[in-house]
Amino acid sequence: MKTRNSGVMLFVATAITVPVGVFGAWVAIERLWFHDLPYESHLLLNTARGLMAVLVVAALGGIHILRSARRAAEAEITVRQILESAPDAMIIGDQGGRIVQVNAQAEKLFGYSRTELVGKQVESLMPGRFRDKHLSHRLRYSAAPRTRPMGIGLYLLGLHKNGSEIPVEVSLGPLQRRDGNFVIAGIRDVTERKKAEQALRESEERYRSLVIATSQIIWTTNPEGEMLEPFRSWQEFTGQSAEEARGRGWLNAIHPNDRERVWKTCDEAERTGVAIQSEYQLRRHDGVYRHLSCRAVPVRINGGSIREWVGACTDVTEQIILAAQLRQSQKMDAIGQLAGGVAHDFNNLLGVIMGYTDLVMEALAPGHKSREQLEQVYKAAESAASLTSQLMAFSRKQVVAPKILNLNAVVSDTDKMLRRLIREDVHLVTVLSPSLGNVKADPGQIEQILMNLAVNARDAMPHGGKLTLETRSVGLDHEYANTHAAVPPGDYVLLAVTDSGTGMDEATKAHIFEPFFTTKEMGRGTGLGLATVYGIVKQSDGFIWVYSEPGQGTTFKIYFPRVHESAKEAAAAPHTPIAQQGTETVLVVEDEVALRELACEFLQLSGFVPLEARTPVEAIQIAERHKGPIHLVLTDVVMPGMGGRELAGKVKQQRPKIKVLYMSGYPDQAIFQHGVLERGVAFLPKPFSRYDLVRIVREILDRAVDS
């Protein structure tokens, strides 16, 4: 290229220099030699001068033509360089839409060689469905002024040589050249950008779906706490429309007791820029405050100042209620364990007190002054035994005799007794469902529940009122179970006891089932009535809930699992007097010395032969060494080292025909399943009288077979 340009320049210089030089030399000769020639000669000289001028003009014209050609060549080179250096595909087309020039990027984009592209119609590089529209657009442009651009950033689909479609962005504009008017197109492959845009749209769609589907309450606020975007969950919770919520402060929906604390938390987060984590009560659309656990994170401007806060709240009201119920249940279980342990030890002491008091009274003549005093001691011990019995009921260690029964029958049978317990100014109403299912429970315990609740209701209505007993079958679903701890879904029979009395506040309700808790004045109640009800319900696999407000009365709702067995009337067993004497040998095993000696004395006074053992190991040794028969073993259930059930098994290995009677003030799982005596097991609860002991011993010994 450099050699060619040099030759051109040399030719141009020669073409200019020679005519001009000749012309100049001619003028000089003319002035020196021919200035005195005649007119005709001057005419010839003028002609020659004209020819010489023409040559000069022609040389100058040639110079102009050569210079224009050089500029056109340089322009052509510049366009080609621009096309090749462009990062996008470049195509130049004529007014008819025919491609006249392309760059390497166009070859790469469409898969054609440069030779294949030049001469093609531009419409052939796009899918057929776009060609008519593009042709119409091009024709309109052809009729328009050449200076305006056809379009910038048009989105089209290109067509690759292999038939695949390519998303492209096209910018078109006019191009004026010496050989005519053209259109130049810059074509950018936007495949990756379109993928990114599609991914972003899908991500946004997933985000919107997530926001809609989530149970959380989503919102955004500016740093001043004004709502920017209240999402649907916020609108549904608060009852505000987006327009009503947007631009308003959200603190006004928080419970007044929580606002100052939350505001301080927000101020601290604003200063430090850390995430907010707090719990507070937020007013729902129905005016009820719900407990929310909220977390908000700051959105910063280029990592600097906070632009907005994005928050999500979870309604944890049910969890808080369940946690409180669980804590209450755990507390009641712990109190029950304590109460049961106290009742066990106390029963042993009461057994000794009542037993020896009974023996002394038998030794005294009727009417003796000391006998009357001892009778008062015995009555006090019986009252104490009644208290321990209630403690046993609360701790679910009471021995029960469950039956398949209909609660309507129990309520009806208890009606007269309840009317004697309550005053005349208390109106008793029973609402019994005719289609009531059956339950499995101890009828005596159901009566005890009704009496205790009736007495409590009576005392809560000092000026009279209404007491309602209601029964009905109910089904508790998963939604109910989710808000009531330890309540499995299923079919239940409801026993509801409602009074119109003074009601209770939350603090009182939190303690009403605890033993010895009472709101009554001194001397009016032991505080064991509701504790007993609680224990009986739990031992019957039921659930009890209380609903009460000050001045609005109280409702106790008790749910017993519904059973599909039918209730059967128990036939009354014929009364047969039991002989209170015997001659059989009884092995007595009890770790409490006084109670063991008392039991042996009771048996001996009635003609039996007692064998005394302080420990289970000693009892096994006696069973091995004793030469004569041992008809029955009377053993405590809970003893150090070995329980009564294990001891009975070892003794039976030596003496297979021996019969067993268990005694305890605190029955354990060794012979009981949730307080229900296993079939064929004989049990004597502590404390017991001489009559009770001898009666049951005689009854067991008289059985034909030890089942």
Instruction: Give the tens place of pLDDT for each residue, 85-139.
Output: 788 888 888 888 899 988 988 889 889 998 999 999 888 888 888 788 777 776 7
The CA–CA distances, whole Å, from 619 to 414, 591, 625, 648 equal: 47, 11, 10, 10
In percent, the amount of the chain with pLDDT more than 90 equals 11
Q: What's the mean pLDDT in 616-635?
A: 92
Confidence of residue 219 (pLDDT cuts 50, 70, 90): confident
Q: What is the mean pLDDT of residues 427-441?
A: 88
The confidence score (pLDDT) of residue 376 equals 80
Give the pLDDT band of residue 21 (cuts 50, 70, 90): low
Residue 56 pLDDT exceeds 60 = no
Lowest mean pLDDT of 155-164, 223-232, 419-428, name the range: 223-232
Q: How far is it, in rounded angstroms, from Cα 295 to Cα 274?
A: 11
Structure tokens, 279: 């719990």
- Range scoring the smallest mean pLDDT among 235-239, 602-606, 660-664: 235-239
At residue 243, does pLDDT exceed 60?
Answer: yes
Looking at the chain, the whole-number percentage of residues with pLDDT higher than 70 is 69
- The amino acid occupying position 680 is G
pLDDT tens across 602-616, in order? 899 889 999 999 999
Q: Residue 224 has what pLDDT?
A: 73
Q: Which band of pLDDT confidence, cut at 50, 70 and 90, is reported for residue 521? A: low
Residue 415 has pLDDT above 70, yes or no: yes
End-to-end Cα spacing for the chain: 124
- Containing 467, the helix (H) or strand (E) segment is strand 465-476
Give me the chain's average pLDDT, please. Answer: 75
Compute the distance between CA of residue 318 and CA of residue 149 in angstroms, rounded to an integer: 66
User: Which of 51-55, 146-150, 174-178, 484-488 tops mean pLDDT?
Assistant: 174-178
- Total residues belonging to the chain: 707
**Is 281 a residue whose pLDDT tops 90?**
no
Q: At CA 227, angle to CA 224 and CA 231, rounded to 5?
A: 150
pLDDT at 179 over 60: yes
Q: What angle do CA 106, 108, 109 make, to 5 degrees?
A: 65
The pLDDT value recorded for residue 682 is 83
Over the stretch 326-363, which tens digit does the pLDDT of each residue have? Answer: 666 666 566 555 556 666 677 777 777 877 887 888 77
Rounded average pLDDT over 558-569: 80
C-beta separation of 660 from 632 below 8 A? yes
Q: 526: pLDDT confidence band, cut at 50, 70 and 90?
A: low
Residue with tokens 């440069």: 114
Alpha helices in 568-628 (DSSP H): 593-605, 616-625
Question: Which of 140-149, 190-199, 382-391, 627-636 has the weakest average pLDDT?
Answer: 140-149
How confident is the model at residue 673, as a pLDDT? 47
On the CB side of 30, CA atoms within 13 Å amount to 17
Q: Are 123 and 110 in contact (CB under 8 A)?
A: no
Average pLDDT over every residue of 505-525: 70
The better pLDDT of the pair 116, 420 is held by 116
- Please tell me which residue, 510 or 466, carries the higher pLDDT value: 466
Q: For residue 283, what are the β-bridge partners?
A: 289
What average pLDDT score do residues 470-481 get? 82
Evaluate if residue 617 carries a pLDDT over 90: yes
What's residue 565's pLDDT? 79
Select from 504, 551, 549, 552 the least CA-distant residue to 530. 504
Structure tokens at 501: 């009395």
Beta-carbon-side half-sphere exposure of residue 126 (alpha carbons within 13 Å): 19
Report pLDDT digits (tens) over 530-563.
Answer: 777 887 788 778 888 888 888 889 999 989 999 9
At residue 630 the predicted structure's pLDDT band, cuts being 50, 70 and 90, is very high
The first and second tokens of residue 298, run together, are 């700051």
> Nearest to residue 285, comparing CAs of 247, 329, 335, 233?
233
Higher model confidence: residue 399 or residue 83? 83
Confidence of residue 669 (pLDDT cuts 50, 70, 90): very low
- Mean pLDDT to the nearest integer, 566-579: 48
pLDDT band at 631 (very low <50, low <70, confident <90, very high): very high
Q: Residue 82: is its pLDDT beyond 60?
A: yes
At 49, the amino acid letter reads R
CB 313 within 8 A of CB 217: yes
Give the bridge partners for 373, in sequence order.
Answer: none
Mean of pLDDT values over 356-382: 78
Distance CA 184, CA 198 (A): 30
pLDDT of residue 80 exceeding 80: no
Band of pLDDT at residue 151, cut at 50, 70 and 90 = low
